[in-house]
Structure 1
Amino acid sequence: MVSSSKDGISQVASKEIASPVVPSPSLPSPSLQSRRPGARPISWATLKSRPNSTTSPALTSPRSPGSPLLGDRFEGMWRPISGSYNGKLPTVDEKYTGLGVEDDGSDRPSHERAQRHSHFIQQFPAEPEKLSVLPPFEILLADIGLALLPLIFIIYGILAGLLHNRPTSSFYFGDGTYNWSGELYGPTMLKLQNYIPTFFPMAFGIEVARLTKSFATWRAQRGTHLGFLEQLMRSRSLGGTISTIFDLRIINWVGILLLTIWALAPVGSQAGLRIISANGTYVNTTLLNYMDTEAIPTGLQAASNDLQYYSYAVNSLYSTSLLTPASVVAPQDPWTNVKIPSLEYLEETKGCGQDGWCSRTLATENMGANVSSVTAGTWSSLTGLPVIGGEFGVGIQNFTLSASYYVFKCSSLDVVASDVDFNSTIPDRGVYDTGDNSSIWDSGNTAHPSTFFVDTTTPLAGLGSADGDARLEGANMSPRTLIFGSRAPNGTTVANCSVYTSYVLAEVNCNFSAPLWNIDKTLSGKTSSGACYVDRIRRDPAHPTLDPYTPLDANYRIPQRFFEQWPLATGNVPGGSSSPTERFINDVSTESASSSTNSILVATDWLGFNSTNTNNDNGISYVDIAELDIETFTQRFSLVFNTFWHAFCNLQAMTQSEIGLGFGDAFPGSVMFRSVDATLSVPGQHYTVNFVWLGIYMVCAILSFVAGIFTLVFNYSTLMPDVLGSVSVMVKDNPYTPLPKGGSAMEGPIFARKVMHMPVRFADVKANEAVGHIALVSMDVEDPNVPVEPLKKGRLYH
């Protein structure tokens, strides 16, 4: 401890130093001025300077090579290196040795005579000045800069929050705005996040340590307990706070508060490291449009037959569906439209749960080997529903769509004699001539003969009344009956079927494997390019049962044109051969095209290679559909009927073009599609912000910013010099470390720079007494009457 006891001072002051009186020379000093200068005590003991010799323990100037301490490796580490602050230090002058206050040769009173002190101390300010709360301009700028340092981390936290759900790649949004997070913003934030654990504790420690010191200085000026100041000044780090509690043997709210504040530094740094991740799942809602299976293009109901202008395209689409084996197996059609499973088939194969939802997976689990994974009855149609829209066209899009399709219940499948004719109820259709080898009915075009027909025994809507009148819907409405006739080897195969509408809800999952960045997606852009499928299906609660009312009942022109076009859809059929539609119904083989001579894929007769008696059949190779069981026929007939209906109603949407494109008011897009909100999730393609960690980080950053602001407030509300926590302050008013006059108002850093070259040590200043006294003494100024000895082990000290 530092001693300034009265006995020690009086003892030193009472001795006379027998040395010649030589005035103290003026010592050069760097131009450093205290910002809070003022008068200080001038009562100093009369001391004698130690001679500068090789045996002296004094630490001399770096330009004084005579001191043995210059070789000490620790002192060598302290000495300023080139380019750092060195100051102008006086050299050792022998005329300093042995000077005393009483012997300076002056007649002035002793308190006005020249005072002797360590010749390594720079000159103190000569004139006193008033105290001021405002520091020099450069100090003020430094204080403000340090106070605002946490703003960097706060701004980072704000920018991190704005990064949430932004894509990791650059692309254009549907509204034309550019995603600037992918190239610069996001990657830069991720890089900066790695440095948060390094630099945040530094900034946090600077602010809290400065606040602790400024608050202690502010309290010291106004008066407080010494222990409070001691605790504050020793608690400028987490380790210092903990050790102070143990050293002072005190647990108080100050210590608890300081511990809590310091603990936020590592917490905040670790929170900053966990804010942003680039493999999160982006979740949003996007608008999708899909084909409305209940809508009927106005062009099919109008008096003018617009069908003739695009029938070739409808026929091509239908034929492609029949001739593509994957159309039966895959959950999508060749144009990646979503195929709707047959709910009736899943109900028959135990594919429905107690909640009403049905799936192919559940059917396989319940039936095992008794059910094929894919059959003709699995799907309601070989073609699916187009899905259009979506903001990004990537990720996973889940939505529920409403769909409807034709369901047939066939009661008979028989062969009638070839001489039996059927009268059509369709206007201008006439009689079906089952005995005609070239065509079963007169289509009006001899180049397009037909081997099957579809008709109805139920009156068509609008006939006998105003055009366009529909059959009235109601509870007592009976289902429409359709007749299907197919040329058979020995007559005509005739099926009678009732037709219904089945309304279902289907949950669709779209899993896009490749991102479509840099594609300007618009409402007409196709987004279901490859990965949409129906996961499960259920009955629409609004239509709990099969509805006998179908689109065929809306207007007589619809079945008239549909029944006329369908038998001609596959083009020319050579005489004696069945159409691809009939061959598909008779034998749909998706695994081995060569497994059946009737397979559509090996229908050489249909291709025109059986015009002679190659197969000993006299050139006649009609399929015999009547050999099928009624259930198999019903499934396959429903499949091809719905397939042609999809193509017949909305060709452009089926081929991934804009709905209703090119047909004007006759096929308006607003009629042909429905809108639905889809849940869009993109795993691993968007930034995710953990807002819990972000909140913790922001609390710590804001707290450090508040600490910086309060530091400014306390600093510039305090007049007293900033001396707390400085080791150099121990030489102030210490009789064993004499100083020049003045300097009491100097700031701690300025005072330290002026006295930092003074050699000091803790020593025993009562070496000739039984009990010693420990004090900080100057090593180059001594009084021969005040024996100073190093501290000794075993000696008693007060």
Structure 2
Amino acid sequence: MGLGLVTIWMLSPVGGQSSFRQISFGSSGILEDAVVSYVVPGPHPWTAGTKEATNTTSGRDFDTPLNGNLETSLTNIYMAGLISPTTKDGSPRDAWGHVKVPRIESYEKTVMNDHEGWYKIQNSTVENFSSFIGIPISGIDSPGFIDYATRIEAVYFNLDCSEVSSGQQFLFNASSWLGDLRWNENMKEGAHWSPEEDLAPVTFVLVTPADKPVGPDLSYFNCTISSTYVEVEIACPTYSTCFADRVRRSRLPVPPAEYMRIDWETLIKSNSSPLSEQYLKVPKDLSGTITDETPVPHADTVAIRLSQMLNSYWAVMNIKNVIIGSFNVQTTVVDRNITWDHQAKWQIEVKPEVLDVLSLARVWTSKATKSSNVEVFQAHVGWVLALIVSSVVLITASVIPFFIRTYLLRGPEILMNFSSLATRDNPYLRLPATGTYLDAADRSRYLKDLRIRFGDVEEGDETGRLAIGRAGGEVASLRRGRQYA
């Protein structure tokens, strides 16, 4: 009984602490619908190869080469992305925080897809991304929301290269691109806006190192380029930590892989960059110096890195003025026709004050979800259970004495020192007259064998009388319902 009483007593402070700790302030995410905008590389009118793609508002013919100032601007942005730490550490975002598009080819060979064709993005490296410059997305940049999620469409160039023993069978015309890497001009033309039956793969030859004439000590790569269309699922735990979570082949109708969405000559004849050949060989150490002894990577690696450079410069051409995410009416053109159909020629309207059509980006929209944090009361299950158990036990323990006093007791409860007050000069106890000088403790020792009872000393009367007397017949037990004085 003592252990039980101690246990019950200990529940009191536990219950008191539980009442304070069972509820605290917390946050709850409320899911909301949203619409995001993102840049897609489209068939640009200035390289459409047709005089029909002319801006009637400004009178500019788009079928003209890039001017020098524009090339310098594009190359500077490209170089900023190339030397960024995010390029060589496998980060899912570029130097401006834009999400990089994964190369689905790298996952199709190593990861199992689910029943919907999705590949989970995991353990990403530099080679897992199609470009080191990502896609600007507008609408997921509010710090008041978390857990953004959306899906976007993307397209990129995919290269298939094989090393050949000699380049003598190829005709070179010293075309330069990205660090004086020499290309032949024996390539298919008209791979954009051409009838589907006339499309053919674009092929070229890469020679490295670039500072030597054609000879047996050079590396020759014969490459074929194609277009890959994918759907990417974007996840953003916070507005500044977005990444590609899953990727699959685009479910939209797509043109043939041989179709090029930009004029090839426009893409390759850009400003030279001495770091591009460095990236091709040693992408993680652009500060170093490559020599003739620096080994040339395997053809598969060359294809990946070269396609990343191509896609990055192509991305810069699309997003020159929105590279930092500034979407507005002068830098974007919303394309409501979300389709990859290359036969649907895209026409745009340019305002007179926009002098350079390259400042425009083609934009698609996508449905998204986002969560906002709302302050709420948060219940802690452990403390709630502790409070419930403590309250139930303590309330039950407090009700038991009331029940006993009301229904089980036959008389009043008394508490006194029996050895002194109850036995001294008591007419109902026959005790010797000696020993009155003893204190209560000593007297109790002498009376240890004395059995007494608190009961009825006038059992024969109509009203009983309560007193303490010797047990064994001199004092009757109390009866429920009888009146006592």
TM band (smaller chain): 0.5 to 0.7
CA distance in 2, matches of 1:622, 1:312: 29
Other-structure match for 2:248: 538
Other-structure match for 1:383: 133
1:497 maps onto 2:223 in alignment: yes
CA distance in 2, matches of 1:413, 1:641: 22
Structure 2 CA distance for partners of 1:494 and 1:624, relative to 1, 3 Å: farther
How far did 1:313 drift? 2.1
Other-structure match for 1:310: 70
Q: Secondary structure at the match of 2:161?
A: strand
How far did 1:292 drift? 0.9
- Contact 1:297-1:666 within 8 A present in 2 as well: no
Per-residue CA deviations over 1:403-460 (Å, capped at 9, x if unaligned) read 111111123344547xx8835xxxxxxx32xxxxxxx76x9xxxxx962134553442
Residues paired across the two proteins, number: 319
1:347 maps onto 2:119 in alignment: no
Other-structure match for 1:298: 45
Letter paired with 1:286:
A
* Equivalent of residue 359 in structure 1, options 114, 120, 127: 120
1:337 maps onto 2:42 in alignment: no
* Equivalent of residue 411 in structure 1, options 131, 149, 162: 162
CA distance in 2, matches of 1:488, 1:585: 15
CA distance in 2, matches of 1:472, 1:279: 57
Structure 2 CA distance for partners of 1:676 and 1:421, relative to 1, 3 Å: closer
CA distance in 1, matches of 2:46, 2:220: 31
Q: Secondary structure at the match of 1:536?
A: strand
Q: Secondary structure at the match of 2:134?
A: coil
Structure 2 CA distance for partners of 1:391 and 1:323, relative to 1, 3 Å: closer
Other-structure match for 2:467: none
Q: How does 1:693-712 map to 2 (within 5 A)?
A: none
CA distance in 2, matches of 1:581, 1:507: 30
Q: Secondary structure at the match of 2:308?
A: helix
* Equivalent of residue 472 in structure 1, options 171, 181, 195: 195
Task: Please give the root-mean-square deviation of Cα atoms over the aligned residues, in Å.
Answer: 3.6
Q: Greater Rg, structure 1 or structure 2?
A: 1
1:461 maps onto 2:156 in alignment: no
Structure 2 CA distance for partners of 1:390 and 1:336, relative to 1, 3 Å: closer
Per-residue CA deviations over 1:551-578 (Å, capped at 9, x if unaligned) read 13xxxxx32222211xx242xxxxxxxx
CA distance in 1, matches of 2:165, 2:133: 29
More strand by share: 2
- Contact 1:583-1:623 within 8 A present in 2 as well: no
Structure 2 CA distance for partners of 1:279 and 1:450, relative to 1, 3 Å: closer
CA distance in 2, matches of 1:623, 1:646: 33
- Contact 1:278-1:688 within 8 A present in 2 as well: yes
Q: How does 1:333-732 map to 2 (within 5 A)?
A: 333-350=94-111, 352-361=113-122, 373-390=123-140, 392-393=142-143, 394-416=145-167, 422-423=171-172, 431-432=173-174, 451-461=180-190, 470-474=193-197, 477-486=199-208, 487=210, 491=214, 492-512=218-238, 530-542=240-252, 547-552=257-262, 558-565=263-270, 568-570=271-273, 579-589=274-284, 593=285, 600-603=286-289, 621-622=291-292, 627-658=296-327, 661=331, 663=354, 666-667=357-358, 669=360, 672-682=362-372, 685-686=373-374
Q: How does 1:49-448 map to 2 (within 5 A)?
A: 279-293=27-41, 295-301=42-48, 302-328=62-88, 329-350=90-111, 352-361=113-122, 373-390=123-140, 392-393=142-143, 394-416=145-167, 422-423=171-172, 431-432=173-174
CA distance in 1, matches of 2:228, 2:212: 35
Other-structure match for 1:575: none
How far did 1:507 drift? 0.7
TM-score with structure 1 setting the length: 0.36
Letter paired with 1:318:
Y
- Contact 2:188-2:201 within 8 A present in 1 as well: no
Per-residue CA deviations over 1:270-308 (Å, capped at 9, x if unaligned) read xxx99x986221211111111113x14434551344543
Other-structure match for 1:225: none
- Contact 1:282-1:688 within 8 A present in 2 as well: no
Per-residue CA deviations over 1:326-359 (Å, capped at 9, x if unaligned) read 2131000000000011100111223534542112
How far did 1:493 drift? 3.5
Per-residue CA deviations over 1:662-702 (Å, capped at 9, x if unaligned) read 84572475x611111210112xx225799xxxxxxxxxxxx
How far did 1:402 drift? 0.7
CA distance in 1, matches of 2:298, 2:201: 23
- Contact 2:171-2:185 within 8 A present in 1 as well: no
- Contact 1:503-1:546 within 8 A present in 2 as well: no
How far did 1:495 drift? 2.1
Letter paired with 1:324:
S
- Contact 2:162-2:300 within 8 A present in 1 as well: no
- Contact 1:488-1:622 within 8 A present in 2 as well: no
CA distance in 1, matches of 2:152, 2:272: 29
- Contact 1:488-1:623 within 8 A present in 2 as well: no
Letter paired with 1:686:
V
Structure 2 CA distance for partners of 1:331 and 1:663, relative to 1, 3 Å: farther
Q: Secondary structure at the match of 1:601?
A: coil
Other-structure match for 1:555: none
Letter paired with 1:499:
I
Letter paired with 1:547:
A
Structure 2 CA distance for partners of 1:391 and 1:642, relative to 1, 3 Å: closer
TM-score with structure 2 setting the length: 0.58
Q: Secondary structure at the match of 2:237?
A: strand
CA distance in 1, matches of 2:120, 2:211: 37
Structure 2 CA distance for partners of 1:471 and 1:628, relative to 1, 3 Å: same
CA distance in 1, matches of 2:211, 2:125: 25
Q: Secondary structure at the match of 2:160?
A: strand
CA distance in 1, matches of 2:281, 2:129: 17
- Contact 1:287-1:677 within 8 A present in 2 as well: yes
Structure 2 CA distance for partners of 1:532 and 1:663, relative to 1, 3 Å: farther
Q: Secondary structure at the match of 1:320?
A: helix
Letter paired with 2:154:
A
